[in-house]
Structure 1
Amino acid sequence: MASIALCGIVRNEIRSVVEWLAHYKALGFTDFVIYDNESTDGTGEVLQALDDAGEILRLDWPHTVGARPQRLAYEHMRVHSTVDWIGYFDADEFLLLRQDASIADFLARFGDDVTAVAINWVVFNSGGQERYRAAPVMERFTESLRRHDPHNRSMKSIGRRERLSGTGIHRVEVAEGRYVSPSGWDAEFSNGQIMRSIDTEVAVLHHYMVKSLEEFQEKRNRGHANSQDAERKRTKLDSRFAEANAPGRANTDMLAWSGRMRVEALRLRAILLAAGLSYPVWPFVEDTG
């Protein structure tokens, strides 16, 4: 069986990190390599407890590793890992498989000539929510930007590690083989990370870019793992907020995976409680209002 890894870098994601990991476990990812970028809100302790339990590998990854910690983390994973496939996804990105029961089934669609798959974003707005509520992200936010919104042309990648020659934040570098969309047609890019055509029929990456206003402000204040220039990143986020929070359409597609995610989240919660960890966030508590 192929080994399929989730690679991500996080900082202060205590409100969603358990759900994020649980979702990818429900999808059937076999390996989890999470780079902790100087978390101070309990995220590091959660990751370490799950590392101690054999659920993930946590690597301490401070800004002192270099000017762009996220890029360096991704490249570190490519060079030092031994897994077959690597999916590079952030903690606010949740993969939705529309036609397959697992990530293994999804990847089985592609022949040996395929090296990497580019998966489009579907960006979600705040839905008018101003405050954090202790409930799963995928259940709280059910309004996405319209299909052909320019934000949805961005993408992230999953690729065969041995045939990658480099990594970027969105797009990997393919040494040999094809770079395709989830439907199997050759992916065409403009400006590096932008796909010329949007393909969401087989798989899509739900990007909860905004969440609630409170959570967006926290995101803005904590800076970014791919930049040493926090103020520059904040300015960029401010300029994109109105666009990413534009009125959209109802989108409840991810709720089909909510039950499976919850099973995994409760299992991880039990591990964390046994380690003496508890926080006023889901899944430790739940606001059903």
Structure 2
Amino acid sequence: MIFFRWKTAAGAARPEPVREHSATLVAIAKNEARYIVEWLAFHLALGFGRIVVYDNDSSDGTAAILDTIAARDSRVVRVAWPSPSNASPQIAAYTHAVRRVTTPWTMILDIDEFLVPFGYEDLTGLIQSVPEDVASLHVNWLGFGSGGRTDPGYELVTRTFTRCSERAWGNHHHFKTLARTDRITEVLIHDILTSSGRRVLTDFEAFTKGNVGASDRVVYGGVQINHYQAKTLAEFQARMRRGDANYPLGHPSRQRDDSADRFAQLDRNEAEDLKIRAFEAPFEAQYQRLRAILRRA
């Protein structure tokens, strides 16, 4: 059996078995206490073997939640990640991560993004379907709106927001990437570059890269990324005011547009999508388990 070690924030090394189809999920988070348990539970239910969250100066209890869960579930790791003064904390965190991941596959998501492999039983089924000559799988967004909700006093994002944009919306050209770890050469916000192998969308066909992190066509070949960018106006504005982690502190581009007009552009509700409910049972089991860990603590 092959093992790898990831040092936690406290410095303890944890050996875990590396399986052929295992994957590590990486994220950077700032003040995501409201959402982090649901996000962790869902992706653990899918079958990610390790989830590493870079805690970027959170002040709302995110760190305590992650540390409590990590102490009782070795698949979860928190890395304290203060913002550097002259670099993107997001890119720096991703680069730090991919140099340490030793699972065969790596994926990077935001906390408002949920990988939904609706055409497969779980993450392993998706990975097993990827042709051997493919180095990176690029999964398009599906953008969800508020569904007319104005009150942020709900429990779960994935059960509350089911209205989404029509498929033709331009934002859906954006993607996030699942890549073979040993071929990664560079990490961008949406994209992962590799040394060799084909870059494909979820139909396993090549694509032309358009704008940064966007494809020339939109494909949902049995998998999509549910992107809950809007939620309610109050939540959207709170997220925008945290700033853009793609830029260092003090950079003028770090400030984000939190206006009602910008929210209206993203609050798309023309259709309904319930594909994420295919994973309701395993998600519920993981969610209740994590909540029990937090209650006992």
- TM-score, structure 2 as length reference: 0.88
Whether the 8 Å CA contact 1:114–1:177 is kept in 2: the answer is yes
- Runs of 4+ in structure 1 displaced over 4 angstroms? none
Whether the 8 Å CA contact 1:143–1:249 is kept in 2: the answer is yes
**Change over 3 Å in CA distance of 1:235–1:184 after alignment to 2:** same
Structure 2 partner of 1:285: none
Is 1:203 aligned to 2:241, yes or no? no
Structure 1 partner of 2:93: 73
Query: Given residue 293 of structure 2, which amino acid in structure 1 is its aligned partner?
Result: I
SS at match of 2:171: helix
Name structure 1 gaps, 5 residues minimum: 276-289
Structure 1 partner of 2:294: 272
Task: Pick the aligned partner of 2:44 from 25, 32, 39.
Answer: 25
Greater shift in the superposed pair: 68-77 or 248-257: 248-257
SS at match of 1:40: coil
Q: Deviations over 1:191-213 (max 9, x none)?
A: 23111010013100000001111
Name structure 2 gaps, 5 residues minimum: 1-18
Structure 1 partner of 2:278: 256
**Which has the larger share of helix?**
1
Structure 1 partner of 2:119: 99
For the residues of structure 1 that align with 2:118 and 2:59, how far apart are their CA atoms? 36
For the residues of structure 1 that align with 2:85 and 2:223, how far apart are their CA atoms? 34
For the residues of structure 2 that align with 1:202 and 1:131, how far apart are their CA atoms? 32
Task: Pick the aligned partner of 2:265 from 222, 243, 258.
Answer: 243
What is the deviation of 1:233?
4.2
For the residues of structure 1 that align with 2:187 and 2:45, how far apart are their CA atoms? 26
Task: Pick the aligned partner of 1:172 from 183, 192, 202.
Answer: 192
Q: Deviations over 1:127-163 (max 9, x none)?
A: 1111212321110001111101001110100101110
What is the deviation of 1:230?
7.1
Structure 2 partner of 1:36: 55
Q: Deviations over 1:45-74 (max 9, x none)?
A: 001112222241110001127420111111
Whether the 8 Å CA contact 1:98–1:201 is kept in 2: the answer is no
For the residues of structure 2 that align with 1:240 and 1:114, how far apart are their CA atoms? 37
Cα RMSD for the two superposed structures: 1.6
Task: Pick the aligned partner of 1:8 from 22, 27, 31.
Answer: 27
What is the deviation of 1:273?
1.6
Is 1:58 aligned to 2:78, yes or no? yes
**Change over 3 Å in CA distance of 1:56–1:247 after alignment to 2:** closer
Whether the 8 Å CA contact 1:154–1:195 is kept in 2: the answer is yes
What is the deviation of 1:111?
2.2
